[in-house]
Structures are given as structure tokens and as C-alpha cells.
Amino acid sequence: MSSLTFTLIQSNLHWENKAANIKMWEEKIVSIKEKTEIVVLPEMFSTGFSMKPESFAEKMDGPTVEWMKKISAQQKIILTGSLIIEEEGKHYNRLLWVLPNGQTGTYDKRHLFAYAAEDQFYTPGLKRLIASVKGWKINLQVCYDLRFPVWARQQPTPNPSQEGKLDPEYDILIYVANWPERRNIAWKSLLRARAIENQCYVIGVNRVGNDGNQIYHSGDSMVIDPPGEILYHKEHDEDIFTITLSKDRLEKVRNKFPFWKDADEFNILT
């Protein structure tokens, strides 16, 4: 069975300062000593959770996207995280999945955080992004999406090589976030719930420190295995952590306890 290696970077951010953030992220990525395949940055990694898209949005050929492509190719990694993108006059909190060859997948945050007026400045996405790497399937989501389990729910899919056989839809669920410390019980509890109910690995990458509104973020970035065991958890401090996930471990859990097969069938209407 294959393995897949991730590096999670939990960091403070320079509030609404793209240049300072990009410089910081590049230094941190280049400093990674371990061999890694996928590097995960938090939500709105170039600005912090800003409600000023008209000031900080860029297009898909803008400097931050080009930087992601450059560093991905240079370090031979897949790089992911979300930033503010403008497209056809609309603004999106868009997660990018950038491959070393320059190919880029995108996911626009579906659930916008109305409590902070995100829904007044950004347009919600309409479809999920499930990436494929070395035989692994990875469901990519953003922050507030975590509170809505139907959007992440496994939907068993037909196996293309074995008629009548169903497979889980994905193997890993990633959340990139700017999740405040005052609600970190929900963050930590729901990450574990998503892993248990979907019988998958879950990776949550959050920021630390105060943002420009003096809202404190405790980080609490985590990696959780399919039965809900916490493989990594870091609170308050900046950290760069590399972990290798085992497909064999995943398959053993799913085969021994095939709960995913008993799930309800459903369709999501958008």
C-alpha cells in the first residue's frame, strides 16, 4: 500500500500584507528538511481573514498564484492553501491545489461565515474538489465548511475496474482555516467527528496569533486517523510538522469496520 507525506505549517500572519506573508511562507517552505510531497498553508494565507477583497483580490494569473507555482516547481511539492481571487467581477475565498508542473485545481469556499459578514463580500462555491495523488483521493475544504457535515459526507462511488463494487469517495479530508481560539472546542471536536463518520484521515491547518481585529487564534492544527485517534496536535505556537500517512492503515480500518457502506444515499442541491 502507498503512503503520502504532508507538511503542515502553522504560523502567525502579517495582517493584510501580501509581500510580508509571501516572504515568510517561502522561508518556512524552503526550511523544510524532511522529504515531503504536499505542503498545507492556512486559509487566506497571504492576507489573513480580510473582508477587503476589493483591495487584496487578484486574478488567477496574479503574483500570489504565480508564486505558488514557482515554489511548487522549485521544491517539487504540491502546495495548497486559500487566498482572495477575483473572477468576472466576483470575489472568492479560493483554495488552490498547485502541482509542480503548474497544473492547478481550485475550490471556492462553499459556506461563507455570515457571522463575520463574509457572505456580503464573497461568492460561495458550488462544487467540491477531490484531488488525486498516488492513488489517494483528497477532499479539500475551507474553515467554516467544517460545521456542515453533509458537504463532506462520503458518497460511495462505483469501482471502475470491478462491476458492482463500491469504493469510498475519498481517503483524506483537508481543512485550511482561520479559526479563532474562542471557538476551538468546535474546531477540535468537529475535525475528529469528520474523521470518524467518513472513515478517513483528516488534516486541519489553522493560523496562530492575533489578526487585525485583535481576534486570537490558537492554531490547534491536527492530523486525525480514521478511528479518531489524534496523530498530531499543536496549539498556540508556530510549527512546521511533517507526517506520513499509511494507506494500509486506512484500508485495514475500512475492511474491519465497513461502516461507510451503510451510509444513506443522497444528492446535494446547489
Catalytic residue positions, numbered: 43, 109, 143
Distance, CA of 269 to CA of 72 (rounded, Å): 35
Cβ contact 147:190 at 8 Å:
yes
* The three grid cell numbers given for residue 220, joined into one nine-digit string: 490547534
* Residue 195: Cβ within 10 Å count: 25
- Beta strand spans in 134-258 (E): 136-142, 157-158, 166-167, 172-176, 201-205, 208-210, 216-224, 230-235, 239-246
- Cβ-Cβ contacts under 8 Å for 57 (sequence gap 6 or more): 84, 85, 86, 91
Distance, CA of 154 to CA of 261 (rounded, Å): 10
Element (H, E) at 3: strand 3-10
Distance, CA of 42 to CA of 149 (rounded, Å): 20
Closest CA to 25 of 71, 59, 56: 71
Q: Which residue has the cell 515531503?
A: 36
